[in-house]
Amino acid sequence: MKQIVECVANFSEGRRDDVVTRLIEAIETEIGVIVLDHSQDFDHNRCVISYAGPPQPVCEAAFKAIKLASELIDLTRHEGVHPRVGAADVIPLIPVHGVSLEECALLAQKLGQRVAAELDLPVYLYEAAARRPDRTNLAEIRKGGYETLKRAIETDPARQPDYGPSHIGPAGAVVIGARRALIAFNLFLSTDDVNIARHIATKIRASDGGLPAVKALGLYVGGQAQVSINLTDYQVTPLYRVVEAVTAEAAAAGVRISHGELIGLIPQDAVFAVAGHALYLPELSAERVLEPALLQKIGFAFEA
Amino acid sequence: MKQIVECVANFSEGRRDDVVTRLIEAIETEIGVIVLDHSQDFDHNRCVISYAGPPQPVCEAAFKAIKLASELIDLTRHEGVHPRVGAADVIPLIPVHGVSLEECALLAQKLGQRVAAELDLPVYLYEAAARRPDRTNLAEIRKGGYETLKRAIETDPARQPDYGPSHIGPAGAVVIGARRALIAFNLFLSTDDVNIARHIATKIRASDGGLPAVKALGLYVGGQAQVSINLTDYQVTPLYRVVEAVTAEAAAAGVRISHGELIGLIPQDAVFAVAGHALYLPELSAERVLEPALLQKIGFAFEA
């Protein structure tokens, strides 16, 4: 495996298990592709399938899953607390080993062209794959969700897709991009008051002057208030700083963190940084951890 | 690499760099062996060389290093704050992959017999390799250090070696054994008062009613008080509990932890447990961490 790309595919289905299973099957039957993790959630009504492999099989699997999702998921009847614009909602390609972010951006653009041409779906390119500066931010593309985009795509020039038709059907649009590994991490609070979670989210997120590289929303999930966090660059803001900030804000609001939830997978060096901080070993890295150190020395190294 | 054994070899030399370098060279020139890490310390006057490989090369490298240490290090002129009985002081074999603790114990016994026969050194077997129940605890074997053992080995039947002569020369004795991965971890305090470190050590160590699987000493190192910790089973007592306990005892004594120090390497799952605790993800394990999850799925797994 000389080149490894990860895809963290987000689909707007978290309630019908058979649909989620069929999406996973569409991905894992592609030879060379390994499904690493999947999670689904009733309230978000959303599933996330993380998989990895060489570039071509990863893109082929993404195409098959986008096609299947567009056939099985109807956004006109979709309810969920998470922002979304499509059945296959967000498809990011992430460099893991022997491949650059720029190469992943090119792969994403090629995949987007194919989705538009063969499936007749509007495609938006985001982050490193964006072809317009206002498309680097996923939240801008998804603003107002499916319901708003359905009207705006036909009338607002700013919301024209990068590829595909300027009209939207029950499968919605597909947002395809390339980015570095992000950490999707939720912290549940010891309260059902979603306003506290929303308040904490505004305190910690970059867009409101909080921590750099942090996106956050306050949500109501499973009867509990949840701070839903995306850390887009854990080298800029270490994950432990995010947890410390939420812990402090929760205490100030008179609640506490009841438990965490990791969506998808977390990069190894982000975990080592968290542990290193807790152990007063700020330099802790793979070289000092038995298994990865041994792998590195025998020449089996994952590059960042 | 079907079977991987780690050896964390402790030698009573931390001041003469050329001697440490020669010991490392003696180990790493053995084909199949990989030196993972080494550390040395002036005050302890001790070095620790961690290396791994298949069982036979690991034992061969250990033998060569024991021989070299016995030629180069003179315990009659050795000073250091750490307990020690020999030039090659402690040689534990640790199962890493595809090998059991029992197999490591047999390897240790064979190595011990060879050291006694070919180098004419007294050998004590400890922990899983011990042939007497009073030898499972390393501290019992090293009680009183070289100076006490030098007399006792000739007079006290309880201190007869498992193999080799009942008299001790300048190279001292060699303690050889097998054990599970241990975490050697020091916490420096914001004080030069070694009595505070000693007090904290008595509070946290198992032998004084503290945390199970924790050994601790209070030492004076580099002008600072240090709590020197061996965690012999991080599944019984997670490492974060040890750090929490030292933090609390330090606060009670009016000092704080200034920094940590890891000796040798730390097993991956111990790191994941520390990070999982900090992130409110108590179940965090290799399956949820990108690089090891990918390795597991492609069939490259390290077994515990």
Return the sign of the alpha-carbon dihedral for residues B127, B128, B129, B131.
positive
User: Which of A1, A258, A281 has the CB atom closest to B262's CB atom?
Assistant: A281
pLDDT one-digit tens code per residue, B13-28: 999 999 999 999 999 9
Cβ–Cβ of B292/A34 closer than 8 Å? Answer: no
For residue B81, what pLDDT is reported? 76
pLDDT of residue A291: 87
Report yes or no: A274 at the B interface, CB cutoff 8 Å. yes
What pLDDT score was predicted for residue A294? 85
A8 to chain B, closest Cα gap in Å? 12
Q: Which residue of A has its CA nearest to B189?
A: A280
CA distance B61 to B77: 26
In this prediction, the answer to ipTM > 0.90 reads no
Predicted pLDDT of residue B91: 98
Tell me what the pLDDT averaged over chain B comes to: 94
Distance in angstroms (rounded) separating the CA atoms of residues A124 and A171: 14
Give the tens place of pLDDT for each residue, A289-302. Answer: 998 888 877 755 44
| DSSP 8-class letter at A118 | H
For the stretch A158-171, pLDDT in tens is 999 999 999 999 99
Distance CA B80, CA B86 (A): 12
Percent of chain A clearing pLDDT 70 (strictly above): 97
Closest CA to B181 of B18, B303, B59, B68: B303
Q: Judge whether B301 is closer than 8 Å to chain A, CB to CB.
A: no
Q: Where are the domains of chain A?
A: 4-178, 183-266, 267-304
- Average pLDDT value for residue range B34-60: 93
- The nearest CA of chain B is from the CA of A108 a distance in Å of 21
Q: Give residue A300's pLDDT.
A: 55
Instruction: Note whether A36 contacts B274, CB cutoff 8 Å.
Output: no
- pLDDT above 70 covers a percentage of chain B that reads 97
Which residues in chain B (37-76) have CB-CB distances under 8 A to chain A? 37, 52
Say if the Cβ atoms of B277 and A272 lie within 8 Å. Answer: no
pLDDT of amino acid B300: 54
Kindly tell me if the per-residue pLDDT of B170 is higher than 60.
yes
Helices A268-278 and B290-297 pack at an angle, to 10 degrees, of: 130
Helix axes of A239-252 and A194-204: crossing angle, nearest 10 degrees: 130
Q: What's the pLDDT score for residue B303?
A: 37
| Contact assignment for B260 to A281 by CB distance below 8 Å | yes
Identical fold between A4-178 and A183-266? no
User: Please, what sign has the CA dihedral across residues B124, B128, B132, B134?
Assistant: positive
pLDDT interval class at B301 (50, 70, 90): very low
A97 pLDDT band, cuts 50/70/90, is confident
Taking the Cβ of residue A6 and every Cβ of chain B, the question of whether any pair is shorter than 8 Å is answered with yes
Strand bridging mode A34-41 / A123-127 = unpaired
The more confident residue out of B66 and B82 is B66
Residue B302: predicted pLDDT: 45
Q: What is the pLDDT of residues B269-291, one digit of tens each?
A: 999 999 999 999 999 999 999 98
User: For this structure, is A82 an active site residue?
Assistant: yes
The DSSP secondary-structure symbol of B218 reads E
Class of domain B183-266: alpha beta
Structure letter (DSSP) for residue A170: T
Give the C-alpha separation, B52 to B126, whole Å: 20
Query: B79 pLDDT band (50/70/90 cuts)?
Result: confident
Q: Give residue A80's pLDDT.
A: 79
The mean pLDDT of B44-66, rounded to a whole number, is 95
A184 touching chain B per CB within 8 A: no
Catalytic residue among A38, A78, A82, A259: A82
Q: B129 in helix, strand or coil?
A: coil
From the candidates B38, B44, B78, B82, which is the catalytic residue?
B82
Question: Average pLDDT of A278-299?
Answer: 88
CB contact under 8 A, B288 and A262: yes
Do A243 and B279 count as a contact with CB atoms less than 8 A apart?
Answer: yes
Would you state the pLDDT for residue A250? 98
DSSP assignment of A67-89, as one string?
Answer: HHHHHH--GGG---SS--SBSEE
Confidence of residue B151 (pLDDT cuts 50, 70, 90): very high
Whether pTM > 0.90 for this model: the answer is no
Residue of B nearest to A277 (CA): B275
Q: Alpha-carbon Rg of chain B, whole angstroms?
A: 19
Q: Is B36 on the interface with A (CB under 8 A)?
A: yes
Calculate how close chain A gets to B171, using CA atoms only, in Å.
30
Residue A183, min C-alpha distance to chain B (Å): 11
A67: closest CA of chain B, how far (Å): 26
Locate the chain A residue with the closest alpha carbon to B181.
A290
Which residue in the set A6, A36, A289 is minimally distant from B268, CB to CB? A289
Instruction: With CA atoms as reference, report the closest residue to B93 among B144, B18, B33, B13.
Output: B33
pLDDT for the residue numbered B304: 32
When pLDDT is averaged across residues A146-152 and rounded to a whole number, the result is 95
Assess A295–B contact: CB distance below 8 Å, yes or no: yes
Q: Does A291 touch chain B (CB under 8 A)?
A: yes
| pLDDT value for A196 | 98
Q: Do A181 and B34 touch (CB under 8 A)?
A: no
CB contact under 8 A, B279 and A262: yes
- pLDDT band for A264, please (50, 70, 90 cuts): confident
pLDDT score of B295:
80
- From the CA of B263, how many Å to the nearest CA of chain A? 9
Phi, psi of B125 (to 5 degrees): -100, 135
User: pLDDT tens digits for A62-85?
Assistant: 999 999 999 999 999 998 777 899
A 189-248 near B (Cβ less than 8 A): 239-240, 243
- Residue in B closest to A37 by C-alpha: B288
Fold of B4-178: Formiminotransferase-cyclodeaminase; Chain B, domain 1 (3.30.990)
- What share of chain A has pLDDT > 90, as a percent? 87
Residue with tokens 């050994």, as numbered in its chain? B215
Asked if A64 and A56 touch (Cβ cutoff 8 Å), the reply is no
